[in-house]
Amino acid sequence: MIASVTVSSCVYYTGESSVEIKFEADSSDHTEHSHDDKPRPYLCTVCDKRFATKTSLKVHRNRHTGEKFFSCAQCEKRFPSQSGLCQHMNIHTDKYKCTECGKCFTSSHGLADHRRRHSGQKPFECTVCSKQFTTSAELVVHSRIHSGEKLYKCHICDNSFNQFGGLQVHMRVHTGEKPYACHVCDKVFGSSPNLNAHMRVHKEQKPYKCHVCDKAFGRSDSLNTHERIHRGEKPYKCRICDNAFSQFGSLQVHMRVHTGEKPYTCSLCNKRFSQSCHLQQHKRRVHCYTTDELKQDENV
């Protein structure tokens, strides 16, 4: 039997390092809960959920801040709550283990979802386009395509995303975090797709070709971005001077004109530059760097 799901939810992630804990003395003002009638005077100021105790609010707050205080002694994974850690420990006890492939899960629900992947069952159907999914969570995420919902918002640049994972990857643009390293040349990347695309450089694979100029790319999204040049599209606009760019990275570089930021420093004379290409030109002209020496610097 196919199940359909109607989705109505609202989540807002601020990315703030701290979230205000607000206590309201009027205990009559609390969220309705069908399963109990406890007063819930502790309000999360990020998502407006309410809690009966200050401790419960603090645990919930970790979801917004990303703090993970509870560490697994066996594999060192970390979790924002004690309950999350307890669920995770089921993996090490083989309590919920798939008999077909041996993969372990934190709950019976997770194991049931996984078993459908072996059987090919997709009981959750989109009421708009009739596409079917293995889990209700996949259907929930898919339904946002039709509704235009992008519930996870970046607090820095106002970009928004259908999935929390998309926001997490995006935040690395602002933090500079690059957790994915190439094992061949040690270059690092903010996402696994970017690393996978980079690996084609070593394999010399560029399957995506521009039909206008025959330039080739390792990723389809890189080709799409390139083709904006031929179409004259410049969707990324500067909010200060109205300059527009075909790539988001070009806008980021341009913004340094207004902010005065100069993140590239010469290791020889400490002179600073707003763009890496300007630093390379400086090293060639002032310090007589060769092309090989510049490449070696990039891989350090």
CATH code for the domain of 21: 3.30.160
Q: Rounded distance, CA 66 to CA 78, Å?
A: 11
User: In angstroms, how far apart are the furthest CA atoms of the chain?
Assistant: 75
Say whether pLDDT at 23 is over 50.
no
pLDDT recorded at residue 4 = 45
Per-residue pLDDT reduced to its tens digit, 249-274:
888 889 888 988 888 888 888 888 88
User: Does 27 fall in a domain?
Assistant: yes
Per-residue pLDDT reduced to its tens digit, 207-234:
888 989 988 887 787 888 888 889 888 8
User: Does 130 fall in a domain?
Assistant: yes
Is the overall model pTM greater than 0.85, yes or no?
no
Higher pLDDT, 179 or 33: 179
User: Does 178 fall in a domain?
Assistant: no
User: Does 75 fall in a domain?
Assistant: no
Count: domains in the chain: 1
User: Does 19 fall in a domain?
Assistant: yes
Per-residue pLDDT reduced to its tens digit, 36-60:
566 778 887 767 778 888 888 877 7
Per-residue pLDDT reduced to its tens digit, 169-204:
888 888 888 888 888 787 888 888 888 878 877 777
270: alpha, beta or left? (left if phi > 0; alpha if psi -120 to 50): left
CA torsion 238-241-246-248 (nearest 10°) is -30
pLDDT recorded at residue 58 = 77
User: Does 269 fall in a domain?
Assistant: no
Q: Which contiguous run of DSSP H or E holds residue 107?
A: none
User: Does 291 fall in a domain?
Assistant: no
User: Does 102 fall in a domain?
Assistant: no
Mean pLDDT of 82-106: 78
Domain that holds residue 132: 1-67+122-163
Say whether pLDDT at 134 is over 50.
yes
